[in-house]
Amino acid sequence: MALSAFIRLSLVCALPALAAEPDSPAEKARATPKAEGSAVVEVTAPLPTEPLVTVLDPKVPRQPLPAHDGAEYLKTLPGFTVIRKGGTDGDPVLRGMAGSRLSLLLDGEQILGGCGARMDPPTAYIFPESYDRITVVKGPQTVLYGPGTSAGTVRFERTNARFQRAGVEGFASLMGGSFGRHDEVADVRAGTPLFYVRGIGTRSHADDYDDGQGVSVHSRYTRWSAQAALGWTPDDDTRLELTGARSDGEAAYADRSVDGSKFLRENLGFKGEFRRLSTLVERVEFQVYRNHVDHIMDTYSLRTFIPSMMAPEPAAMNPDRTTTGGRLALELRLRPGTLLTAGLDAQANEHTGRMSMMQWSMPEENLPRVADARFRNAGIFAEASHALSGRDRVLSGLRLDRWHAEDPRARVAITMMMSAVNPTAGQRRDETLTSGFLRYERDVATGSTLYAGLGRAERFPDYWEAITKESLASLSAFGTRPERTSQVDLGWVKQAGTVRASISTFYGRVSDFILIQSNVTKPTMSGSRLATVSRNIDATTWGGEVAVQAKVMGALRADGSLVYVRGENDTDGRALAQMPPLEARLDLTWDAHAWSAGLLARGVARQDRIAVNQGNIVGQDLGPSAGFGTLSLHAGWRPADGWLLTCGVDNLFDRAYAEHISRNASLVPGYAVQSLRVREPGRNAWLKASFRFGGPGSAVRSDG
C-alpha cells in the first residue's frame, strides 16, 4: 500500500498538466452486458452504444459460426466484409477499405503480419473468445489509437477487475460442427484484493469444407493460443499487469500455390493504470510491449508437391517481423463536462525474410535472414469532449505523427526466379503527418442522439504498398506518397424503448489514395512482363448503414440491417475497386429467456461496378459477381445459471456462392477446379456449450 501511495503521489507531482487515456472521451466504450438470463444467439451485431461506436461480447455465441480468427468475427457487424482465402485468416474490410486503413489493436498493442501476400493479416493472430470485449469505431473519428485510421479502429480488449475477496471466476466453451470443426476455450482468473493471475487457452481445428455444390475446398486449419497475465491491485485505483502470449498453427489456402505451416506469435507486455490521482488528473495509463511473428509458407506441408523441371524441389519462405511499442496517456477533468485526453505513443518494426527454392537440399532454416524494411512512428495526440449543455456536446481531437522508413534491400524480386538491383536501395524517408476530427452531438430525446462529424486522416504507405510492390516508373514503390482522407459522418442513434435504431452515412474524399494494380505491362530487354504496382490516385467514397431492432410481439424480436458502399476512382474515371455490394440482413428471434430460436436471412445484390485488376494490398477485382441469398437457423437453451447450449445450421439450403471481394481460386493438386472466386462453405451444422462461473459478485471493476 505504501508503494502504491508513493507511485500515485509521484505521478500527481510530476504530471500535473497532462491527462490519462480513458476509454476515449470520444467513445467511452462500455463492456457489453452478459446476457446471463437469456439463451439468445447473437446474429446481427449489437447496435451502436453511441455515435459511431459499437461494443461486442466475443464470448456470446454468434451466427453464422465464425472461424477462429478476428476477421470472420467482424463480418457479422454491418459495414464489415471479409476477403476469404480458405477456412481462416481472412482480411477484414470496413466500408470497402482494407489493410492498414483499419487499425486493429490487441489489448492496446499493434501486431503486423509477415507475409508479403497477406497470408497472415493481424486478424490471423486474434482468437476472439480469448477477449472480453470488442470495440469498433467507424471512420476517422478518434485519434487515440494509432495513426492513419481512415476506415476505423477495432480494439480487442481484456478487462481485469480487482477482486473484492479471494476467489476464482472463468469461462469455458466447447463447440463441434460440420467439416470436422471443433473449438475449445478455457479462460480462468483467480486472485485476492492484492493480486490476480489469469490464464487463457484456445484451440480450433477444421477439415476442408465443401461448398454448396459438394466441391471440397482446400481450407483446413489447426490453431492454438495461450495467454497469461499477472496483476497487482493494491487498491481500487491502481493496477500493474505483466502479460505474455504464444500462439501457432497451420492453415491451407485455396487462393494461392502455398500454404501456411507456421504462424508463431510471441508476445510480452507490461502496463499500468492509476485512477483518481487528484481533482484534475483522473487517470494515468502506460504500456510497453513486444510482438514477434515468425511465419512459414511452403509448397509441401499441407498439399501434394509435384516435382517439375522448374521446381524439382519444394519451396519455403520464412518472413518474420518484430514490433515494439509503447504508450503514455493521461486523462484530465478540466471542469465539469469537459474531459481532455492527451498522450504519446510510438512503435518500431523490422521485417526480414529468407527463402529456399530447394527445401530438401537447402532448407530455409539454414539460410540467413535478410532485412527488407524498417519502419518507425512516434505520435502525440489530444482528444477532448465538452458539454455545451445538458443535450449538446462537442468532441474533437488532433494527432501529429512523425514517420521514418528505410529500404535496406539491395535487390528486388521480379519473379520467383529473377531479381534486379533495387533503385531505392539504402534510401530513407521521413514524413510528418496530421490527423484530426470534430464532431457535434445532440440528444433530441431520451436515448436518441443526432450527430455530425468531420474527420481527416493522413496515412503513411505500409509495408505491402511501399516494399512488396513496384511503381509505374520503377522497380520499387518506396516513394509512394502518403494517403489523405477527409470524411463527413452523419447519423442518428436511438438506444431506448422497444425500438432501437441506428442510421449512419458517410462521404469521403481521398487524395493520393494508394491503389494496387496488377497485370501492368512493363517493358524488358527481351520484350515485356506483367507487374503489380502501387499507384496514387484521387478517389471518392460514400454510403451508409441502417440497423433496426424491434420487439414485434410478445417474445418475438426482429433485427435488420441494410448496408451500401460506393466508390469512384476519380483519376481514372471508373469505379473504385473492391467495393462490396448492397447487403441486407433480417433476423427473427423468439426469446423466452431460458429458450430461444430464430432464423437469419441474408441477401446480397449483384455487383457490376468493378475495376478488374485494381484493388488493395489483399486482392483486386476479378469481374462482376452474382447476387445471392442464404437462410440460417439457430436455437439456444440455458438449463442452469452459467450454462448455455446453442446450436445452428448455416446456409440451410446448401447454396453455392462466393462473396464479391473474395480472392480468386487457385488450382490445388488433388482438388477439383472451383469457380473464379473462393466459394463459401455449404450447409454447416454446429453445437456449442459454454459455461461461466464466479460471476461479477467476486470482483469490483477497476475501470470505474
Backbone φ, ψ for residue 424 (5° rounding): -115, 25
Backbone φ, ψ for residue 696 (5° rounding): -70, -15
pLDDT < 50 positions in the chain: 3, 6-7, 9-36, 696-697, 701-704
Within 10 angstroms of residue 653's Cβ, the number of other Cβ atoms is 12
Q: What pLDDT shows up at residue 698?
A: 55
Number of compact structural domains in the chain: 1
- CATH code of residue 623: 2.40.170.20
Residue indicated by cell numbers 510491449: 289
Q: What pLDDT shows up at residue 685?
A: 97
Range of the domain at 643: 2-700
Within 10 angstroms of residue 487's Cβ, the number of other Cβ atoms is 23
* Pair 321, 113: CB distance under 8 Å: yes
Q: What pLDDT shows up at residue 5?
A: 52
Q: Which three cell numbers stand for residue 363?
A: 532448407
430 exposure class (CB count in 10 Å sphere: 0-12, 13-18, 19+)? exposed
CA distances to 32, 254, 566, 570 from 96, in Å: 27, 22, 8, 16
* Pair 220, 206: CB distance under 8 Å: yes
Q: Which residues pair with 270 in a beta bridge?
A: 242, 288
State whether residue 259 is helix, strand or coil: strand
Q: In whole angstroms, what separates CA 269 from the centre of its chain?
A: 20
Q: Which three cell numbers stand for residue 105?
A: 489493436
Report how far residue 187's alpha carbon sits from residue 170's, in angstroms, rounded to the nearest whole number.
5
pTM for this one? Answer: 0.93
Report how far residue 38's alpha carbon sits from residue 61's, in angstroms, rounded to the nearest whole number.
12
Backbone φ, ψ for residue 390 (5° rounding): -70, -15
Residue indicated by cell numbers 457535434: 440
What pLDDT, in 10s, does the model give residues 578-596? 999 999 999 999 998 899 9
- Say if strands 102-106 and 152-157 run parallel, antiparallel, or are unpaired: parallel
